[in-house]
Every structure is written in C-alpha cells, then in structure tokens.
Structure 1
Amino acid sequence: MATEADSQKKESPSRASSPAVTSLPQKRALEDDHAPSVSSPLNPNPDVKLTKNQSQDDIPSMGPGKRTKKESLKKRESKGVAGGDSARATPDPKHKKDETPQPQLGSESSPLRYKLAPPKPSDFEAARGPVFTHHHTVPAPDGTSIDFYETSEHVYNKKNFHYLHCIADPQFPSSFYYRQTEPEPYGAHISFEDAATHMYLDQSGRHITTDKGFRMARANIAVREGRWYWECKITRGTIPKTEEGAKLESHGHVRLGFARREASLDAPVGFDAYSYGIRDVEGQKVHMSRPKDFFPPGEDIKEGDVIGLEIQLPSESLHRKVVQGQYNPAVDLIADESSSAEGPNIVRDRIPIRFRAHIYFEKIDYHTTKELEDLMNPSPVGASGSAGSASAEAPNPNHPVASLRTLPKSFIKVYKNGVFMGTAFEDLLAFLPPASKPQAQVGARENMDDGMLGYYPAISVFRGGAAEVNFGPDFWFPPPDSEGSPTTKGEEPAEASGGDDVAMTGTEDDSVTVAPVVAKKENPAAEGPMQPLARRYDEQIAEDIVADIVDEVNFWMQDGGRVIDRTGGRDEKADVTVGVAPGQEEIKELVQDD
C-alpha cells in the first residue's frame, strides 16, 4: 500500500477565518463556521470543542507576526503517527496549536468529514465480488467434489485497516455521495476480504482450505448480543480409523470458533486472547494458545463430523455498563433488559478508497492491547517489556482495566453431530470501547464504536484441511432447543425453570456469591431463543442502512439544513473558496500486494 502527499497552498491572513478544507491525502476533518443555531438532535454533545485529533491546519492562521518551526516529515514519522500503509498521509502542521477552542465540524459523536473529488461514473455501479481462478478440486466425505478457487482483484483486511464495499449514491450528497453496500454472494458467508492470503474458497464462500500453515478467515457477520448458532462440517481433516489400533492419518487440520477484530489472521483460532477455538485433535478447546481437554475421552473430530457452536452474549446496554465501569452485579445481572431504549452510538470514521475495479470504505482497525498481551504471557516482565506489567487480578466484569473485563452470562457451547459436548468457554472478554482500541494512526479516535465490533465466526485450516460452514436456517443438525432436535448426550433437556435454583458458594472466606446449580456437561436453558446466524446478516444490513441515514442527517444539520455538494460543486450560499486541491481530480487508489 503506497500513498503520496500532495502539496498544499499557504493561506493568506485575509483568509484566516475561512473554513479549512482538506483534500483526501491529508485526511483532516473539515471545519464549518456556519453551523445551525440549533444543534443536531442526533448530537448528544452540542458543546463542540477542539479535539486532540484535529489537524493543525484546521486552526485559523495566527498572522504573519508569529512564526513557528515546521517539523520535518522524518521527525513526524518517527513519532509513529504516519499511516504509511494506507491512503492516509501525515498532515503538515503549519502553526502552533492555539489554546483557544475553535469550532470543528461535528463532534466526538459525529464521523469525520473529508473533501473528495467528484465520483467517477463507475462508482455508481453495483459492487462486484472478487475474481475467481480455479485452483484445485478435492473429494468430499460424501463422495462429491469441491472446487476451490483463488480469489483476486479485492483488498485484504490487513496492515491495521478494515475495508467494506461502498457505492456512490446521489441520495447521499451531504456524506460525499458514498454509502455502504454488499456484493454477491449475498448472505452470511466467509468474508473474502477478512481472510489471510493463500486461502482458497468456493464461489459461495462456504468452503475454505489452504496448502500453507495455519491461516484464519472470519465470516462477514459479527455477534454483538443475543444467542446464536452455526455449524461447521469437516470436509478434509483427520481420517476415521477403519480398525482398532490403526495409525492415525490426516489430510490436514481444522480449528473453528469465534474471533474478534483484533485476532491475527495469520494464526489459528484460539491463538491469542481475542479468539476462542476448538481443535480437531482430541476435541480440545484452545484460548491464548493453551489447549485443554474438553471432549469426553475417546471423542475427537474427524472428516464428515459436524460441529455446532452456540454463543450467547448479554445485551449491549449491560455490555456498555461493564466496559464503562458501571456494572453492579446485584442489580444489573437481574434487571438486564435485552430491548433497551438506548441504542449504541455508532461513529464510523471512514473514507472511500479505490482498489482496481472496486470502491471500499477504509477504516482504521482495532489493535491488540498491552494488557491482553500480558495476560497471554504472564511473566514478571510481561509481553510489553515493562516490569510488573502483568495483572495480578484475573479478568472479571469489574476489573480496573477495561480490556480485562468479562461479560456476565456469556458462553460458547459445542455440539458434535447434534449431541451436546459441553460449555467450552464462559465469561468472554468484553469488546466494546474502551475494551477495544483503534490502531494509532492519523485520525484515529479512541472510545468509538464503528458498529462492526463483536465476535465473528472463524475457521482456521492447516495444510490441506478443509471445512464447510452453515449459518442456517437449514442446519444439518438443528439447534438443540428446536422441535425434533436431539437431546443432550446422556441427559434430558434442561427445564426452563431449572436455572431458578441457586446455591451459596464461597462462604468460607466471607465472599458470598449466588450461582446457578449446573452440573458439568449439562446444557442448562439459556435466555432468549437461539437464532441462526444467517438472520444476523439481515440485522447487520438494516443496522448499516440506519447508520448511513443517521450520518447523512447529521452532516445535513451541520451544514445548516442545506444540501451542499461535497464533490466539488457547492450551493450558491456556500463559501466559493472551497474546491478540489490542485492535481487531486481523483480519490486515491489503494496499492496492496496480494
């Protein structure tokens, strides 16, 4: 990925009070000194202040009498603020930061805005998926054949940036004409962009394999709250033994589970603190690279087996209380309302980027935190290299560090061929900001939820291992609480009232807690209906549409209730000094090696 920084014009003192407009390479937010007298009803913070992420060029000139020394590009890059791997370039500060707060377009609850060149006619065309080139064919356990393809002509989520397809739409003039969209194949599937390189998929995005070491791919849907279910069939893996004592043979290996945005794609599921995985070897569960026995003795995962995964997360309202340090288990755990009137404040700082025949929204991705790195490597020094950095307190909902807080009533359960194997993980780590933090880049703002955080279904394959995903609603083995589904292994289904019985624990050390009486390997009734993850895709599309409309209305209100063409043309009342930077007739093109 390579970028170029265009030269900028110096403003004369007479234009010191004019709005500072940016071109794409500088990635600075616009100012606006003609904001409406009544703030936007979508903006909960009407007192707009200058933020630390505002560019120095967005501050009015201090006049010719005060001159400051300009830092060199090399010095600025040494501070780690230059985003050299994307189309985002480092702003060139011209003046010392003024101590007087200056008006800035939007606020901490509004997305940043950028000046763009007019869209090309091709930008209005429907988004296209990747180009498929046939790579190889493998036999499936049922005797059929699976064609795997190498995907190209698309961008990969890597180097600290996240990409989503977008399209130009004249119905969105205030948000520079672009809105989010989806290409074929429609529906829930393995994401072509959110996968490691050298992975091969079929054209439906359901089958995946590789001929390299462990690589991971995430689905195009994220779970943020509720109870969800999906299945994975092992199509190439450990071969079932034909006779007792025979040598174990394998066509490869597969791991599956859930992973957050911060999880590395060049590692298996369960490698770090951001993912939870199940191994095909002996059915072990893996978290932070620590495999633990999970399946009953003699049980493992072989070719043809179908592994069902169920995840439950608390409501987002309870989740926000946890990450904000306001969680009270005596009250919130009982009064958790899944249908809270308070919706999440989605703030999406993104910019259209051209990549070959595609247009993407580029967003700064979330990165690993020092605390979770130290949790994975609990040494006196810690992974961060600072002495005493490892936390002595285990992760819990009221941990003093936000990234080490866990979600009450959260778990991941595992089924094999419809039979309940047990609860693999409980008290999953929280992911809403400030538990998740963006990568340090120009324009990155902390504590912002871009709406795509969550736990993604994830699969990792190793040297020929292959798997097929099924997000429903037609499952190979229906969810356990659906009509006609098999019961738990050796157990009758749990009654809905079984969770009401409680036992007192921890009475010897004066710390009394109330916990449900749940036997090991039992499947207690969970709250809320279990839904197929295919339905989450429809919800996610609806959330994107609403967020696009909210951003458009927000920008429209910032412009004083007028529609202002952000692609070069302006209305008759707008500032005539605004225009496209010299030589910037096109939005920047992304360069990324496959």
Structure 2
Amino acid sequence: MSAGEPSPQREPTPTSTSTIAAPVSSIPQKRALEDDHQPAISSPLNPDFKPAKPQEDAPLARERASRAKKESLKKRESKGGSMAADSSARATPDPKAPTPKHKPKKKGDAPAPIRYKLPPPKLTDFEAPRGPIFLPAHTKTAPDGTAVQFNETTDHVYNKKNFHYTHCIADPAFPSSLYYRQTETEPFGPRFNFEDTSTHMFLDESGHHVTTDKGFRMAKANVGVRQGRWYWECKIISGIPKRKPSETNVTQESANGHVRMGWARREASLDAPVGFDTYSYGVRDAKGQKVFMSRPKDFFPPGQEVQEGDVIGLEINLPSEALHRKVVEGHYNPAVDLADDEPCGIEAADIIRDRVPIRFKAHLYFEQIEYHAVKELEELMNPSPIISSTGGIGGVGQEPGPTHQLPSLRTLPHSSIKIYKNGELIGTPFTDLLAFLPPASKPLAQVGAREGLDDGMLGYYPAVSVFRGGAAEVNFGPNFWFPPPGHTQPDAQVDAEMTGSDQAAPSASAPHPLRAVGERYDEQIVEDIVYDIVDEVDFWMQDGGVSGKGVADAALRAPAGGSAQDGMPGGGVLGSEIKELVQDDE
C-alpha cells in the first residue's frame, strides 16, 4: 500500500441480525443430487427411474462448463483410422454429410454407400489413368524356345495393409458422386492384376507371365468368378525339368524353382503359396499333390508330377448366387434344395461399395477396406487342442457344411474344382468349397467398416504362386492350348450338329455351361458401370434430386483464375487436393 492512500475499511461480517445481505448468486449453493447425478436411463441399481424434467428457472444452480473427455491411449490406437486424412478410407466419414433421405423400408434393403468429404477434382484427374512402369529385370527361355522378358513393375499400389485398390477417374457425368468412377488401365483384357500381386514379383508387359527370385509369392487375376463353371490354363515355364521317372536331379530342380496354381479368394494372403490357408485351393508341381490349409495330399497318379512345358487346366463349379445366399443366410434346406436349378443371374445382389479416391504417384485409386481372415477359419486351419477336446466354442469344432452354425464355415453345395493335365482330366481334388458372400466374409474391424455388405468383388480368382525362379504363363481363353471337354474354340470350324456329340449331357449338379474365365472381364466392366450409375442415382436422391450439390457445386464454381472445359471443374480451384498415399514396396 503506497503512502497517502487511505487505509481500506474492513466490511462487517454479516450476521443474522445484520441488515446487509450478500447477493444470493455469490453464495455457493449445494448441487441438487437428484438433478445432477440421476442416471439417464434405468438400471438394476436404479429401479425407480423417473426422467427428470429440465428446470429452466433454476437461478441458484451453478452452470458448469463442459469438460473435454480424454480417451485412453488404447482407445485412441483402436480408432487409428480416424486420425488419417479426410480423403482416406481410414478417415471417419463426414459427420456433417447429409443422411440418406430414402431409408430402407423393407427388411433386407441395402443401406446407401458412405459419402466422404472430398475436395474438387483437378483437371488432370479427368485424364485416362496409366498402368505401371516396367523396368527390365531378366529374360527366361520357355520350353518351346520362346524368350520371355520379365520386368519389375513400379509406380503402382499393392493390395496390402488391409486395404483394396482399384483404378478410378474423374468424370463430369457423375457430379453427385463427386465426379469419381471406376475404370481400367492398359493392358486391357484378362491378365494378372498388378495391384493384386505380392511385392518382389516380375511380370511381362502383357501381364500373362510371372516369376520371382524370392520365396513363395502369389499373383491373382484381375477377373473373379461368383457362380457358374469356369476354366483357365497355367503353363509351366520354369520348374521341375522334364526327366524320366528314374532320374532325380535335386540341384537342377532347385535352381528352376517351383510353381503352384489354383483358385483363391479375396482374403488369401499374397505372401504365401496357393493352398496356404482356408482361402485358397491349390495344386503343387512336386508329386502333383493337392494343397489346402498347408496340408499336401496325394492327388496325381503315382509317378506323375507337374513339369516344365505341362499345361494344367483348372475348372471351378460354383452354384448360383441365389442358392449361395440361401446358404450364407441360413435358409438352405438339404431336403428341399436338392439341385441347383436356379438360373444364373435370376436375382441381382445388393452391391454397396464404401470407397474413397486416393492419389498415389499421380495415379488415382479407389481405396476400400479389405475383407480379412476370421477367427473361425483360423481355428479350422490350426485347431486348438483345448477347443477341439471340448467340442468347439460356438460350433467352431464342427466340420464345415452348408448348414453350419457359423456362416464362415458353411460350404457351397454342388461346388467343386477339377484339374486337367495337357487336356486329360486328372480328377476332382476339392468339393464343397467354402462360401464367400457376406456374412461368410467380413471386413477388417476399423472405422468405416460395415459388416454384411457385398462390394461386388468377392469370389474365387485364378491364382499362381512361384518360388525362387519358378515361372508360369496363364491363358484365360477363349482359345485354350488344351480345350476341356464341352468347350468349343471360338475360331474352330466345327459342324454345329457334331459339336458335343461325344460329350455327356450336363448333370443336375453342374447345370451351367463351361466358360472361359476371360469372358468375365467384359462382364465385370459392365457391372462396374451399372454400380457407378446406381451410386450416382443414390447420391442424387440423397441431395433431394438436385444434381451437383455440396462439394460438386463448389467444384463447378471455378473462379476467374480457374478453368472449366466441357463441364470439367478447374483443377484445385479451392486450394485443396486429395491426400497422397504413401506405400513402400517392401
């Protein structure tokens, strides 16, 4: 206190007889227990629950500022997807995005795809996408003397780390879908999928030859099958050399590598051979054994194996999707559904694709959450002694079947895989294949994942595995090296009356005609176009029937510095871009 200032006078303490009363608002008030601590819902500890009425005229209650609730480290890690960029499928969908106005009214109606926040596309996003860059690696000589140039593929993303990628492009005809739709890249046609191969693999520019200098790696085709009978061929370029049964040359055999071929689902691991787990069925070249769940069993006649120059034909027979859905939904009755007499395509499936465009080295991809291996099938492959001795938990210990308690362990009636060698039928190594339609297949549990949805790309894919120098060539038809029985080459001049005269009529268990896997390529493109149009109409309805609402409108309003040609928005007119994906090749 400085000199000259008057000394402060102490105020008298208020008493019950004092005439000076402190303001009521300055006196701390006791919180009402029944108002502040009453549970929001009833519970066993609160049987006499009565919802409290809000008291608007409560001047004595002190207002408390809302406190930000902190999450534990474990919870934050489990929600790691929400920390990603807004343009990533790992990100949480836009909470302010308009909710669908057309809610499902009937049981079984599919929900609408998730709509993400997206910046407007750049002008370059409307350009046709390019395939990978090929860097020459080495040359191999096929058994017929043909030189095959193998290349390392770069500048493309791999389907790994629990995400699946397909090419996309911006299209002004899809404003409600924020302009992006699915597309394909060169080389066009059925081939190996450059994004669906393991790393450290070498392919030719046509995408029909594959090899590696590492351990077992897998490559899948860009076409998959969901119903019907399909056929493709695999020729051994480098593997077990031709020799007499009495000859053994382990050194030469090891130097040429090994090859396995078969059928694999989406969930099959790319860093393992075909037949490694419950998601693929394969045939190995050594001893001609069949492999499923890493358990090789004799299949070829004694003394036979798959050698260089041999052509292995693989036929798959799948029931109709109508019967398939009966199985996975638990409506299949073996006493009633005796035969698969449902024609293919009689009922269209509800396809829901939750995906978001991602930029990777100047390429655009749709990123979506991948389906993953479920515990029930892991237990089937590596059964626990405790669970097996107790008969299984939740039906896990039971053998797979079409009426299994768990959808992932249900099998498809009338399904099988047949193997041919140089045009001769060897036999049927696999029957009762595991179902793949949801809920038999489940996406990885993370932010944005929704179970029970079919994205249209589930099915069985032709797959080839190579090991330390092993090399193979695939032929998806329609002209095969060794046409299977019942298949007529398109360029063959055969009298129509004589065609199939020496072939047996299709049985009730295989009513579908045999087709080349390559025919699925054009069908998949048509399906993608239809699905894109359906999504566009769906989003258009969400916007109230006004096309180009939201971000699409902002993209079309190009400022003076921007450019818009033929209805295309100026590139980056709002100063924001799709985040670039970082993915190593190891």
Instruction: Classify the TM-score, shorter chain.
Output: 0.7 to 0.9
The alpha-carbon deviation at position 136 of structure 1 amounts to: 0.5
The structure 1 residue matched to 2:538, chosen from 549, 554, 558, is: 554
Within 2, Cα distance between the matches of 1:320 and 1:78? 36
The alpha-carbon deviation at position 480 of structure 1 amounts to: 1.6
CA contact (8 A) 1:382 1:390 kept: no
User: Residue in 2 aligned with 1:144?
Assistant: 146
Q: Deviations over 1:174-196 (max 9, x none)?
A: 00100000000001100100010
Q: Deviations over 1:179-238 (max 9, x none)?
A: 000000001100100010000000000000000000001100111001000000000000
The alpha-carbon deviation at position 558 of structure 1 amounts to: 1.4
> Does the C-alpha gap of structure 1 residues 197 and 271 become closer, same or farther in structure 2, counting only changes over 3 Å?
same
- Gapped runs of 5+ residues in structure 1? 1-63, 95-101, 486-491, 501-524, 573-580
Q: Deviations over 1:131-185 (max 9, x none)?
A: 0000001111011111000000000000000000000000000001000000000
Q: 1:33-112 residue pairs with structure 2 within 5 A? A: 67=66, 69-72=68-71, 74-79=73-78, 82=81, 87-89=88-90, 91=92, 109-112=111-114
User: Residue in 1 aligned with 2:582?
Assistant: 591
The structure 1 residue matched to 2:172, chosen from 170, 173, 176, is: 170
User: Residue in 1 aligned with 2:527?
Assistant: 543
Q: TM-score, normalised by structure 2?
A: 0.77
> Does the C-alpha gap of structure 1 residues 112 and 483 become closer, same or farther in structure 2, counting only changes over 3 Å?
closer
Q: Deviations over 1:469-505 (max 9, x none)?
A: 00001110112213599xxxxxx976327x57xxxxx
Q: 1:420-499 residue pairs with structure 2 within 5 A? A: 420-483=425-488, 495-496=504-505, 499=507
Is the aligned partner of 1:533 residue 2:533?
no
The alpha-carbon deviation at position 109 of structure 1 amounts to: 1.9
CA contact (8 A) 1:432 1:453 kept: yes
CA contact (8 A) 2:372 2:441 kept: yes
CA contact (8 A) 2:179 2:552 kept: no
> Does the C-alpha gap of structure 1 residues 392 and 494 become closer, same or farther in structure 2, counting only changes over 3 Å?
farther
Letter in 2 for 1:588: K
User: Residue in 2 aligned with 1:185?
Assistant: 187
User: Residue in 2 aligned with 1:410?
Assistant: 415
User: Residue in 2 aligned with 1:342?
Assistant: 347
User: Residue in 1 aligned with 2:27?
Assistant: none
Letter in 2 for 1:150: E
The alpha-carbon deviation at position 388 of structure 1 amounts to: 5.0
The structure 1 residue matched to 2:260, chosen from 255, 274, 284, is: 255
Is the aligned partner of 1:322 residue 2:331?
no
The structure 2 residue matched to 1:287, chosen from 292, 297, 313, is: 292
The alpha-carbon deviation at position 110 of structure 1 amounts to: 1.0
Within 2, Cα distance between the matches of 1:328 and 1:258? 27
Within 2, Cα distance between the matches of 1:382 and 1:261? 28
- Counterpart secondary structure, 2:450: coil
Within 2, Cα distance between the matches of 1:226 and 1:471? 16
- Counterpart secondary structure, 1:569: helix
Q: 1:109-258 residue pairs with structure 2 within 5 A? A: 109-241=111-243, 244-248=246-250, 249-250=252-253, 251-258=256-263
CA contact (8 A) 1:173 1:566 kept: no
CA contact (8 A) 1:382 1:389 kept: no
> Does the C-alpha gap of structure 1 residues 232 and 340 become closer, same or farther in structure 2, counting only changes over 3 Å?
closer
The structure 1 residue matched to 2:283, chosen from 257, 278, 282, is: 278
Within 2, Cα distance between the matches of 1:333 and 1:88? 43
CA contact (8 A) 1:311 1:412 kept: yes
- Counterpart secondary structure, 2:193: strand
Aligned pairs, number: 484
Q: Deviations over 1:393-412 (max 9, x none)?
A: 10000000000000000000
The alpha-carbon deviation at position 582 of structure 1 amounts to: 13
User: Residue in 2 aligned with 1:398?
Assistant: 403
- Counterpart secondary structure, 1:460: strand
Within 1, Cα distance between the matches of 2:582 and 2:101? 30
User: Residue in 1 aligned with 2:559?
Assistant: none
State which drifts further: 72-81 or 463-472.
72-81
CA contact (8 A) 1:431 1:454 kept: yes
Letter in 2 for 1:495: A
CA contact (8 A) 2:284 2:290 kept: yes
> Does the C-alpha gap of structure 1 residues 483 and 197 become closer, same or farther in structure 2, counting only changes over 3 Å?
closer
> Does the C-alpha gap of structure 1 residues 480 and 122 become closer, same or farther in structure 2, counting only changes over 3 Å?
same
Within 2, Cα distance between the matches of 1:569 and 1:340? 38
- Counterpart secondary structure, 1:282: helix
- Counterpart secondary structure, 2:286: coil
Q: Deviations over 1:9-64 (max 9, x none)?
A: xxxxxxxxxxxxxxxxxxxxxxxxxxxxxxxxxxxxxxxxxxxxxxxxxxxxxxx9
> Does the C-alpha gap of structure 1 residues 546 and 394 become closer, same or farther in structure 2, counting only changes over 3 Å?
same
CA contact (8 A) 2:228 2:344 kept: no
Within 1, Cα distance between the matches of 2:418 and 2:336? 26
The alpha-carbon deviation at position 328 of structure 1 amounts to: 1.2
CA contact (8 A) 1:313 1:407 kept: yes
Letter in 2 for 1:564: G
- Counterpart secondary structure, 2:518: helix
Within 1, Cα distance between the matches of 2:324 and 2:392? 31
CA RMSD of aligned residues (A): 2.9
- Counterpart secondary structure, 1:496: coil
Within 1, Cα distance between the matches of 2:83 and 2:343? 42
State which drifts further: 314-323 or 336-345.
336-345
Larger radius of gyration: 2
Within 2, Cα distance between the matches of 1:271 and 1:376? 9
State which drifts further: 102-111 or 332-341.
102-111
Within 2, Cα distance between the matches of 1:451 and 1:350? 13
CA contact (8 A) 2:167 2:182 kept: yes
> Does the C-alpha gap of structure 1 residues 340 and 150 become closer, same or farther in structure 2, counting only changes over 3 Å?
closer
State which drifts further: 373-382 or 531-540.
373-382
CA contact (8 A) 2:159 2:165 kept: yes
Letter in 2 for 1:530: L
> Does the C-alpha gap of structure 1 residues 111 and 68 become closer, same or farther in structure 2, counting only changes over 3 Å?
farther
- Counterpart secondary structure, 2:537: helix
